[in-house]
A and B are shown apart, each in its own frame.
Chain A
Amino acid sequence: MNSTNITKTLQSNHHLENNPNISEKQLVALLKAHNKVALNLLYDNYAAALYGVIMRITRSQHHSENILQDTFVKIWKNIEGYDSNKGRFFTWMLNIARNSAIDFVRSKAFRADSRTDSISEQVYTPDILSTETNIQTIGLRKIVERLDPTLKQIIDLVYFQGYTQREIADQFDIPLGTVKSRVRIAIRELRKLM
């Protein structure tokens, strides 16, 4: 998107509000121009995905709400630093959300109060999941469930719990080379399923 196009789009925020299907590239360009309507669209398009990942990591609704807020603030503040040559935009946002949530779970503050509030909150989780989950998500979940449990576990340890390959090798007493090849196989299998 060139600057003339951006200017045109900026002048027609009304048009933007009624057109949630703008491309990712356009969205990034608008966010880099500090466009607030684009921020609104960003939230509508990605909040559920980011929130789901954060919930999966913290297992706490209260903490996840705060971390989602931090994530959007970081996206807004650091959007200039996003470089499409280095990877996909959604991946970039997911990494911000994941890292924020993993850092928090590993902090002393979380460890101290997770004993008191996580049990009661977990009771609500299945309900929220079943009533507010769309068809696309259900379809994806069915696909992911077909992945071998050992391979799924390795993805979860790395992706949601932030383990390094060395830490997995040590904790489960398996050679580092085996962990490395399982990470590779896990992603390939998942890729075949998608």
Chain B
Amino acid sequence: MPTINDYINTGILEAYCMGIISKSEQFEVEKLCSMNEVIQAEVNAIQYTLEEYANSFSKMPPPHLKNKILSSINQLDSNTPKGRRRRQ
């Protein structure tokens, strides 16, 4: 019977974190992840690695952008019909 380590060594968790597996495989990984702490810890470590990789490209956006983005979201919310939020 394949062990958890065998499963981890297939590389499917790396592929899952890179977003390059099929929907059914993705579903399988998520299910196993919720059932097994070792697999969950492995996914967490891989995701953290990719986060740090992404962080290595970090770059400050132009300062004017913050106001533009936040006010576009404010506007979006004020266009939402009253009460809709509450029902969510």
Contacts and interface: CB of A to CB of B under 8 A. Distances in A.
A69 interface: yes
A88 B47 contact: yes
Q: State the main secondary structure of chain A at its contact with B.
A: helix
Interface residues of B, number: 42
A91 B51 contact: yes
Contacts of B77: 34
B59 A128 contact: yes
Contacts of A43: 66, 69-70
B44 A88 contact: yes
Interface size class of A (residues with CB under 8 A): 35 or more
B11 A85 contact: no
Given A40-B70, A65-B65, A80-B88, A133 B53 contact: no
B33 A86 contact: yes
B68 interface: yes
Interface string B54-68: 111111111001101
B41 interface: no
B30 A86 contact: yes
A165 B66 CA distance: 36
A98 B57 CA distance: 13
Interface string A124-160: 0000110011101100110110000000000100110
A98 B18 CA distance: 11
Nearest to A138: B56
A6 interface: no
B68 A69 contact: yes
Q: State the main secondary structure of chain B at its contact with A.
A: helix
A72 B73 contact: yes
B24 interface: no
Contacts of A164: 20
Nearest to B77: A34
Contacts of B54: 49, 52-53, 94, 159
Contacts of B19: 95, 98-99
A65 B15 contact: no
Contacts of B48: 88, 194
Given A141-B56, A164-B20, A180 B47 contact: no
A183 interface: yes
A73 interface: yes
B11 A47 contact: no
Contacts of A110: none
Given A55-B57, A56-B57, A87 B43 contact: yes
Contact of A51 (B60, B73, B74): B60
Interface of B: 11, 14-15, 17-20, 30, 33-34, 43-62, 65-66, 68-70, 72-74, 76-77, 85, 88
